[in-house]
Chain A
Amino acid sequence: MSRNVAIVGVGHSKFGVRNDVSLPELAWESIKMALEDSGLEQKDIQYVVVSNVGGWSSEPLPAVVVNEYAGICPTGTVRVEAACASGSAAVKLAYDMVASGHVDIAMAVGVEKMNESPTPTVVEFIGRAGNYFWEFQNFGLTFPGYYALYMTAYMHKYGATEEDFCKVAVKNHYYGARNPKAQFQKEITIEKCMASRYIAWPIKLFDSSPITDGSAAVILASEEVAKQLTDSPVWIRAIGYASDTSNLSKRDTFTSLRAGVIAGEKAYKMAGIDKDKVLNIIDVAEVHDCFTIAEVMAYEDLGFAKRGEGIEMIRNEETYIGGKIPVNLSGGLKAKGHPIAATGEGMIAELTNQLLNRVEKDRQAPIKNGYALAHNIGGTGHYAYVTILSLSKP
């Protein structure tokens, strides 16, 4: 039998160009915050899952480097990779360790220092994240390039325009400007977004998340332990997961991410939520907006909007506070930043704080039902994790 698992502490570093710290120093910022938030000490942590994609950063065994620095040794650890969804994969593994009864307290910590390499090297590494031999080697696709394949298809099928997509960037910068942890804390206009240069046509610089350094940590505990630690645990109600082909040429559709759909449906089923009524239940969501097209597809893949109507949601500002469902009040990957393998824990930390009414007033969602959803995609729909959190116990 599976046990209930609660979040008892979260930490989230400032995201951005963090050349003021090394990789273990950056991880420690979040670990320390999470320990203090939970009231736990290092010796209480029984397992640590470290998410880090790396390649662009110097330490090939980041898990042991981070744990030594943080004084969590010889506890037991592992490093996980699920591309940009590594953080959610780390939370899933830590969740399983607690739910299965192997441990009572586990931590997931994500850390990424992308700026340890020059930008062209980082572009090269992320571009290789798909099918290296058949799609990169000869054709040099990039990460924005892969998503541009989706944006071209979506625009053609549903008549969406580049201006429409810029509205996602405007919204996420609006909230990023209100989040002191965000990489970009400046509002932008449609005009500024439209005037930005193409990086992978039709994706422009302002449709794209930046290269980011950052860390985030989440401490999970069994129900018994959580009750002793806090009066306000946030429960993990479901983690849905799915994957898709490495070659994009093997995909059937370019207007939806199949893995995102399946992960969402699994999560809704596990949490007992009817996909058609999701807007009546979820108070706030963080969705994977590595590019503006990705946020629009997420609306549809998660059932926030019907097929082809995701673009209407952003045109009508239905994903701002006060709309049908507020999305990416942190600024999202777009403005808060996207430290690849720390993004997942970053979403969970943000939503925990949202549910507990702990974020800055002008970006705090009204919490009515006490449900929040994190949608974290790895690569170009290669991996997907959808996590549902709630203030009420399963």
Chain B
Amino acid sequence: MGEEKKTLKDMYDSQMKQFFEFVESMKKSLGVPMFPDMKSGRAQYLDQREITLKFIISIENIKDFFNALAEGKLLATKCENCNEIYFPPQRDCPKCKASGLGWIELSREGELVTFTQINVKPYSFSHYDDYIVGIVRLPEGVNVTAWIREKDPTKLKPGMKMRLEIVKREPEDYYTYEWVPVS
């Protein structure tokens, strides 16, 4: 269902393709990448350079989190010195300055604090259908932000019980976590 449907990304991409083709034709006739803005007619210059951003982020000190995720567990770090729990996990405890914090597995049920549905998506999320993001409070006292498995935001309410599942994110094909309403 929905596989043939045009996504927001298809729309963004076709708009940009049309735009670039228009500027290319202007460049051919004028000899410079100069074109009038479609609405105002004001002269614009299209940047002839392009940059791609794809970051490489060190997780050396929290790699256990990702190994556990692939095994179906959601972990947090806990300071053995002052008992503070950290989610997102972090190696260092700024409270007592201890380092090399140990790992605990978090409970899988919590209470929905708040949520939204993202309708106008960022470019890098524009291939998905509208998705709901929620923040859920766990008994350990930490909150976890994730997508909620629900299409209709009017069916959700703060205070509802939520269960966490480790899921494969498609089409990227990697493990992440998701909230599922407990009916």
Chain A contact-residue range equals: 35 or more
Interface of B: prevailing SS: mixed
A249 with B121, Cβ < 8 A, contacts A20-B42, A149-B114, A254-B113 known: no
B71 within 8 A of A: no
Q: Across the interface, do A153 and B145 meet the contact criterion of CB distance under 8 Å?
A: no
Residues of A close to B7: CB separation below 8 A:
none
Across the interface, do B128 and A247 meet the contact criterion of CB distance under 8 Å? no
Q: Which residues does chain A contribute within 8 Å of B40, judged by CB atoms?
A: 17, 19-20
Chain A contacts for B15, CB-based, 8 A: 118
Question: Are the CB atoms of A153 and B158 closer together than 8 Å?
Answer: yes
What A residues does B115 contact at CB under 8 A?
149, 152
Contact B153 A201 (CB under 8 A): yes
- Whether the Cβ atoms of B135 and A201 lie closer than 8 Å is no
Binds B, one of A45-53, A134-142, A258-266: A134-142
Which chain A residues border B159 with CB–CB below 8 Å?
A: 156
One of A123, A140, A142 near B128 (C-beta < 8 A) = A140
The answer on a CB contact under 8 Å between B116 and A201 is: yes
A148 touches B44 (CB 8 A): no
B113 near A145: Cβ-Cβ < 8 Å = no
Contact B144 A124 (CB under 8 A): no
A273 nearest CB across to chain B (Å): 32
Does B117 contact A201, Cβ atoms closer than 8 Å?
yes
Bound-state Cα–Cα, A131 to B147, Å: 16
Return the chain B residue nearest A150 by Cβ: B114
Q: Which residues on A sit within 8 Å (CB–CB) of B158? A: 152-153, 156-157
How close is B120's CB to chain A, nearest CB, in angstroms?
4
What B residues does A199 contact at CB under 8 A? 119-120
> B169 contacts the other chain (Cβ, under 8 Å)?
yes
Say whether B116 contacts A149, CB under 8 Å.
Answer: yes
* A131 vs B15: C-alpha distance when bound (angstroms): 30
Q: Is A121 an interface residue (CB 8 A)?
A: yes
The distance in angstroms between the C-alpha atoms of A249 and B16, with both chains bound, is: 35
Q: How far is the CA of A123 from the CA of B119 in the complex (A)?
A: 12
Partner of B143, one of A123, A133, A153, A250: A250
Q: Which residue of A lies closest to B12 (CB)?
A: A120
- Ranked nearest first, the 5 interchain pairs of A and B with the lowest CB-CB distance are A148-B116, A140-B125, A124-B122, A120-B123, A201-B117
Please name 10 further chain A to chain B contacts, defined as beta carbons within 8 Å, in addition to the given A19-B44, A200-B119, A203-B116, sorted by A numbering. A128-B122, A133-B88, A138-B146, A138-B147, A140-B118, A152-B115, A200-B116, A200-B120, A254-B113, A254-B135
